Structure 1
């Protein structure tokens, strides 16, 4: 076959270091636009992005030659620098070290996009810790709860 065809969808979740509530509603869209640019500059497709003051969800269409760990590292490093250089937060802004990443089929994308889009409503009734733990259980990812979030 002459060409490579793929369909890889990854839902990435990571939190502000210490789960501090540092992402302000007044500048979160600026942060999301910046992250969208980072993802596009890395040759990937950002499908959905949203979050809460203490964490973020990103859904990407990923090419097979992309290294997920490198992409997430660049998103976190660049966006942390962006927040600091723009003086968007009066506190030291930093992402947690780890992240979660889950793959989805095309048939699930609409549901995942809606879930990401409705973060503010969703978290009126549910904590980030509870949500994160349920993702790990749903995807059968082994974890130690005391090391789950830093």
Structure 2
């Protein structure tokens, strides 16, 4: 038997960072659906939250799961569900790109708290600013050079 515990903090935005998820009620519906869908697919979602134009998801990968496939399942199915249920006025889409960073177990509570406080966090800072901080903090700009 394999014993695996790999935590990943995923962040992805709506297409062109459109504020499709423009109400707290809608966001709660979407986050709950992502959680329920993940459970059905054997994806362990520890925490999910976000704001009008993006989603943060803390997951733990299983032994046969890849980041790419997991993100594809979470984003693809939730986008399909949002459109099927006509939860947005325009066609809903997630952006293709996403962030995925590993999280040490001793940092889990900090990451959970950060994800939990997205509403307050984005009263002070836009997703564009948060995006640039992620790029810088995790050294992603060096990867693209």
Regarding TM over 0.5, the answer is yes
What SS does structure 2 have at the residue aligned with 1:142? helix
Whole-angstrom CA distance in 2 between matches of 1:67 and 1:144: 20
Could you say which residue in structure 1 is the equivalent of 2:75?
76
Shift of the alpha carbon at 1:42? 2.5
Total equivalences in the alignment = 143
Mean alpha-carbon deviation: is it higher for 102-111 or for 38-47? 38-47
Matches for 1:96-135 after TM superposition, within 5 Å: 96-135=95-134
Whole-angstrom CA distance in 1 between matches of 2:2 and 2:11: 28
Could you say which residue in structure 2 is the equivalent of 1:17?
15
**Over aligned residue pairs, what C-alpha RMSD do you find?**
1.6
Whole-angstrom CA distance in 2 between matches of 1:136 and 1:65: 28
Deviating runs (4+, > 4 A) in structure 1? none
Could you say which residue in structure 2 is the equivalent of 1:148?
none
Unmatched runs of 5 consecutive residues or more in structure 1: 146-150
Matched, 1:6 2:12: no
TM-score when scaled to structure 2?
0.92
Could you say which residue in structure 2 is the equivalent of 1:138?
137
Matched, 1:91 2:60: no
Unmatched runs of 5 consecutive residues or more in structure 2: none
TM-score when scaled to structure 1?
0.89
Give the number of the structure whose residues are more often helix, by fraction: 2
Mean alpha-carbon deviation: is it higher for 131-140 or for 15-24? 131-140
Shift of the alpha carbon at 1:28? 1.4
